[in-house]
Structures are given as C-alpha cells and as structure tokens.
C-alpha cells in the first residue's frame, strides 16, 4: 500500500510522550518516503481543516517535552455523522490517505469510524490513566506516576515536620493504577481506588493506632474515581472524616492536571517511539483499524473493534449485541484480558496493603 501522505493527530487528554510519538511517526514515515501532516487539536482539526505540514524544525526537541505540540481537544461534534463527513472531506481535500490517532478509547472510536468511511486509521494508546484493556501499557502512565510520587515525597517532608496526614487525590478516571503505584512507592498508609471496596473504618482505626504509636507524617492516596454515595468525590470528604474521628490534623491535596504535564520519562518516550514506528510500518503494509498494544513486553497490533469491546467487557459496559460476530476463541481472549487486568489491580492493591506504613 503506497501512501503518499498520512496525517497524525493527538486527541482526548494529553499525555507525556505524545510528542515523542508524533516525532517517531514523522521520522519513520519520512524515511519511507511518506509525507506527514499534523492535524491540530485532535478531531476538531480534521473538521475545521486545521492541517499543518510537518517539518524537522517543528519537531525539534519534541521527544523531551510533555503536552502535545499538535494540541488536543475533546470534540463532541466529531461523534455526529455531519462532523465525520466534514473530517472525511478535509482528508480528501488535503490528500490525506491514512491517519495515526494517538489518544484513549474515545480516540479509537473515532479512528475506526474514519476507517469505515474510507480513511484507514491506526490508534496508539496515549493516556496517563492506563485504562485501555487491550494493552498492558499506555503512553504517559510512567511520567504521571513519577510526577505524582515526587509531589507526595514533598508532602511527606512537611507532614513529618508538622505531624500531619495528607489525603492526596490523584487522576486516573475509573482506573486506580496511578493511585496504586504512587501509594506503593511512597509507603502510603492507605489507598482507595474505584476497582476495590475500601475499608473506611479500618483505615481510620489504623491511622489512630499509628498516631498512638508515635507516627507523625502520614499519606493516604485516593483515586479521583472513588465517589461518595451522592456522587461527589470521596477524597476530600474522607480527609475531613479522618481529622474529626482521629484528631490527626489532616490536609487535602488534589493533584489534578499537574501530573498530566511534564518531561516524559524514558519508558514513555521509548514506548511512544516503538508504537509509532510499528504503526507507520503497518499502515505501509496495508493494515489499519488496529490499536498498537504492549502485550507481555511486545508491541503488537490488536483489532480496534476487539480492543473496544474488550474494554467495555472489563468496565461492565457491554451493550446488547456487542459480542456478536466474535469467534469463541476471540471471546475467550477477551475474558482472559479482563482477568489479567483484574489480577494486576488486585496484586497491586495487595502489595499496597503490605508496604503501607504500620
């Protein structure tokens, strides 16, 4: 499949390593004689025709910076047939024959919609949440967990000095991985994630006992996806409850978007480069409608439809008819993926319970 021109875009929440990914797409495609254009601001750029020719100068030093130089957006208009037709029209007008779309599951839905409408597309997982079931890893997780950790380390200094506890709320949407890694690596006294039931009373007792035994500074990590019964976030409420019930002076910190920016780590740069190079090669081989996944250390393409349905299966969001058309082997493969993800979370949670200060 000899493409002359392909487009690359970043979409959904930005993630450190997206620039490294774009740069690697550019480098590998250029090497193969394929022209690359950048689509600015995710799918909004496709709709509005905001397309820029890519140059080496534009990507100078791009490996080392967070965010995305192609900008990003959440573009609801793209989900409509009208929006999609506008995007297709832009591709035709600009001579864009194929796309590489870097983002999360929403981005992959867009990529498969473009493929179905005649623009072959490949997805690359870029999100700090690591919440794409089909892949062991998404670009951005390592940087964001390390940033989270550095911030918790800072809080630990001041907590120790003032004999305080700090409840820290971290991002991750419905996935507790950022919280788990940060809690394990910082020796937090407790961690609450959306995937596991949280022993609120047991944690309060533990904190009181730790204080009684002389422990001064303490950290509790709560993932943003843990909610109160009324749908509000649990972390801040819990901080107040800890102070009220234990007498331990408790502060609350919401790290929010701070952990989404910053210089990407080696892990994120390497994964980004690796997935990008393979994605360009696959496009050139005539393959599309796949997501680049890391599975047991290897980068492999996984069918987008399979990946999206596996994701819904894991998140208990299957819709009627979702499983139709898959072979028994594929369904078994999906179930195994879901089991693997659950096991990973359970194991991390268990470790967090053991390494937390006691």
Binding site residues, ligand F6P, CB under 6 A: 13, 74, 104, 127-129, 171-173, 224, 260
Maximum CA extent, the chain? 71
Q: Which does 169 bind (CB under 5 to 8 A by kind): ligand ADP, ligand F6P, none?
A: none
| Phi (first) and psi of residue 74, to 5 degrees | -110, 120
Which of ligand ADP, ligand F6P, none lies near 103, with the C-beta cut-off 5 to 8 A by kind?
A: ligand ADP
Among ligand F6P, ligand ADP, none, the one that 128 touches (CB under a kind-dependent 5 to 8 A) is: ligand F6P
Q: Does residue 113 carry a catalytic annotation?
A: no
| The only residue of 16, 45, 106, 225 in contact with ligand ADP, by rule CB under 6 A | 106
Q: Which helix (H) or strand (E) holds 300?
A: strand 298-303
Interface pick for ligand ADP out of 121, 127, 147, 177 (rule CB under 6 A) = 127
Among 14, 97, 105, 268, binds ligand ADP (CB under 6 A): 105
Structural tokens at position 139:
């670009």
Please state, in angstroms and rounded to a whole number, the distance separating the CA atoms of residues 152 and 287. Answer: 43
Residue among 45 and 217 whose Cβ is closer to ligand ADP: 45
Contact segment (CB under 6 A) with ligand ADP among 105-113, 141-149, 278-286, 334-342 equals 105-113
Query: Which is catalytic among the residues 129, 142, 268, 311?
Result: 129
Residue 104 binding ligand ADP, by CB under 6 A: yes
CA distance 70 to 126: 13
Put residue 123 in one of left, alpha, beta given phi > 0 → left and psi -120 to 50 → alpha. beta
How far is residue 306's CA from residue 342's CA, in Å, rounded to a whole number? 18
What is the rounded end-to-end Cα distance, in angstroms, of the chain? 60
Judged by beta carbon distances under 5 to 8 A according to partner kind, the member of ligand F6P, ligand ADP, none in contact with residue 75 is ligand ADP
Stretch that binds ligand ADP, among 73-81, 140-148, 222-230, 323-331 (CB under 6 A): 73-81
Read off the DSSP letter of residue 233.
B
Q: Does residue 13 interact with ligand ADP by CB under 6 A?
A: yes
Report yes or no: 39 and 102 within 8 Å, Cβ to Cβ: no
Find the binding residues for ligand ADP in span 34-63 (CB under 6 A).
Answer: 43
- In the stretch 233-272, what mask flags binding to ligand ADP with x, by CB under 6 A? ----------------------------------------
What sign has the CA pseudo-torsion 231, 175, 138, 288?
negative
Q: Least distance (Å) from ligand ADP to the CB of residue 47?
A: 9
Structure tokens belonging to residue 271 = 């994964």
Rounded distance, CA 95 to CA 89, Å? 10
Strands (DSSP E) contained in 60-185 are: 98-103, 121-125, 165-170
Q: Does 79 bind ligand ADP (CB under 6 A)?
A: yes
And the tokens for 93? 């007008």
Is the CB of 15 or the CB of 248 nearer to ligand F6P? 15
Rounded Cα distance, 252 and 156, in Å: 13
Task: Please say whether the beta carbons of 228 and 198 come within 8 A.
Answer: no
104 or 301, CB closer to ligand ADP? 104
- What is the set of active-site residues? 129
Residues forming the site for ligand ADP (CB under 6 A): 11-13, 43, 74-75, 78-79, 103-107, 109-110, 113, 127
């Amino acid at each position: 499949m000899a493409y002359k021109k392909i487009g690359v875009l970043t979409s959904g929440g930005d993630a450190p390593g997206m620039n490294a990914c774009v740069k690697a797409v550019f480098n590998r495609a250029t090497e193969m004689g394929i022209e690359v254009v950048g689509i600015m601001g995710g799918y909004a750029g496709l709709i509005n025709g905001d397309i820029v020719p890519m140059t080496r100068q534009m990507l100078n030093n791009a490996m080392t910076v967070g965010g995305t130089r192609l900008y990003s957006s959440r573009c609801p208009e793209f989900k409509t047939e009208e929006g999609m037709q506008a995007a297709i029209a832009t591709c035709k007008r600009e001579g864009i024959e194929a796309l590489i779309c870097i983002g999360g599951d929403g981005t992959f839905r867009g990529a498969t919609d473009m493929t179905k409408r005649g623009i072959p597309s490949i997805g690359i997982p870029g999100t700090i949440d690591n919440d794409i079931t089909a892949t062991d890893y998404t670009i951005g997780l390592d940087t964001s967990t390390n940033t989270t950790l550095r911030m918790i380390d800072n809080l630990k200094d001041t907590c120790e000095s003032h004999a305080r506890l700090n409840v820290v709320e971290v991002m991750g949407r419905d996935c507790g991985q950022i919280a788990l890694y940060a809690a394990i690596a910082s020796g937090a006294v407790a961690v609450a994630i959306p995937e596991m039931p949280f022993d609120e009373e047991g944690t309060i007792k533990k904190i009181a006992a730790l204080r009684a035994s002389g422990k001064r500074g303490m950290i509790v990590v709560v993932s943003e996806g843990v909610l109160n019964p009324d749908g509000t976030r649990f972390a801040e409420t819990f901080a107040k409850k800890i102070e009220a019930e234990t007498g331990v002076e408790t502060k609350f910190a919401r790290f929010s978007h701070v952990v989404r920016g910053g210089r990407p780590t080696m892990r994120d740069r390497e994964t980004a480069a690796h997935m990008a190079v393979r994605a360009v090669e696959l496009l050139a081989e005539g393959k599309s409608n796949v997501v680049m996944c890391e599975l047991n250390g290897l980068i492999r393409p996984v069918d987008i439809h399979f990946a999206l349905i596996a994701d819904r299966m894991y998140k208990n969001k299957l819709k009627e008819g979702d499983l139709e058309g898959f072979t028994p082997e594929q369904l078994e493969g999906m179930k195994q993926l879901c089991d693997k993800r659950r096991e990973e979370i359970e194991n991390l949670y268990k470790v967090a319970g053991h390494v937390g200060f006691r």
